[in-house]
Amino acid sequence: MSRDYEPVPSQWYENVEEEESFRVLSVDEDSELVEIEYLDGDIEEIDLETWHEMDLERIEEPEGWSESDDEDADEEEEWDEEDDEDEDDLDDDEDEDDVDEERDEY
């Protein structure tokens, strides 16, 4: 049975014919394009006409999907924070060296 769902950002769907799961990233009403992301991370834009021709079912977010995204984001944030701290340490060391050199000159 074919169901005609409107694309909703962040909602997960399964293309029954292709047996592919994806989520809607965005819907651009002006250009009539729907941006979707498949489970493997591939991103595609489809037009609304193609969307309505698909045999779709709404599905729950796949297990582990948000966890993997959140972990990646947390790791990136931690990495950035460590880099910032290292850069600050270098700046502080350079400032102290400059002050020591100035003292040695007098």
How does pLDDT run across 66-86, given as a tens digit for each residue? 644 444 444 455 555 555 555
59, 82, 97 - which closes a domain: 59
pLDDT at 102: 56
Q: What is the pLDDT of residues 26-59, one digit of tens each?
A: 999 999 999 999 999 999 999 999 999 999 999 9
Residue 34 in tokens: 């729907």
Range of the domain at 22: 12-59
Distance CA 99, CA 102 (A): 5
Tokens of 41: 């991370």
What's the number of domains the chain is made of?
A: 2
Sheet holding 33-38, edge to edge: 43-47, 33-38, 20-28, 12-15, 56-59
User: Given this model, what pLDDT does residue 97 score?
Assistant: 57
In terms of phi and psi (left: phi > 0; alpha: psi -120 to 50; beta: otherwise), the region of 87 is alpha
**pLDDT at res. 19:** 93
67 and 89 inside one domain: yes
